Amino acid sequence: MAQFLIVCHSTTGNTRALAEAIKDRAQSLHVDAELADAFDVKPEDILTAAAVGFGVPTFNYHPARPITHLIDSLCIQDCSGKIAVVFGSYGWSGQGPIMVAEKLRALGFKVLDPVIRVKYQPSENEIDGCKLLGRDVAAMLKRIRRTVDLNA
């Protein structure tokens, strides 16, 4: 699995567009980043990645079930300090990504801010915000790698 795994569920393509922007920016900074559909990801994939992105659309005032089922499967795992970013799109209400971020924090993930929420299709400015998030994750992973190399 990739160093930075981005798990996404997207029925309209809007959340996937956010995920692609994050992934592309991280890859442009030489970070091994991979985008995967939530249905194809296992808990061990998340545990082996150094950082995880969660693309979470909101449906009927709740986070998408494929994402919540995956996160629920992590409750018996040690996720302490694992880097995470959360983002998603919505139509009526956008609390899904915030609910997921809160749950991840309760599991011990270090969730980076901002949690990005986009109404409907993302604008260029919103895509740029996702690219900044990809840059931030890449920078953190490089710092961690340097620290590990220095301590080796």
Q: What tens digit of pLDDT does each residue of 119-142 get?
A: 999 999 999 999 999 999 999 998
By DSSP bridging, strand 62-63 and strand 58-59 are antiparallel
62-112 pLDDT, tens per residue? Answer: 999 999 999 999 988 888 889 999 999 999 888 999 999 999 999 999 999
Task: Give the whole-angstrom CA distance, residue 142 versus residue 83.
Answer: 13
Q: Which domains does the chain have, with CATH numbers?
A: 4-151 (3.40.50.360)
CA dihedral 114, 6, 79, 1 (to 10 degrees): -150
- The two three-digit tokens of residue 45, written as one number: 């994939």
Res 113 pLDDT > 60? yes
Q: Which of 42-56, 111-125, 134-148 has the lowest mean pLDDT?
A: 134-148
Sign of CA dihedral 97, 69, 34, 82: positive
pLDDT of amino acid 92: 87
pLDDT tier, 148 (very low <50, low <70, confident <90, very high otherwise): low
Task: Give the whole-angstrom CA distance, residue 88 versus residue 7.
Answer: 11
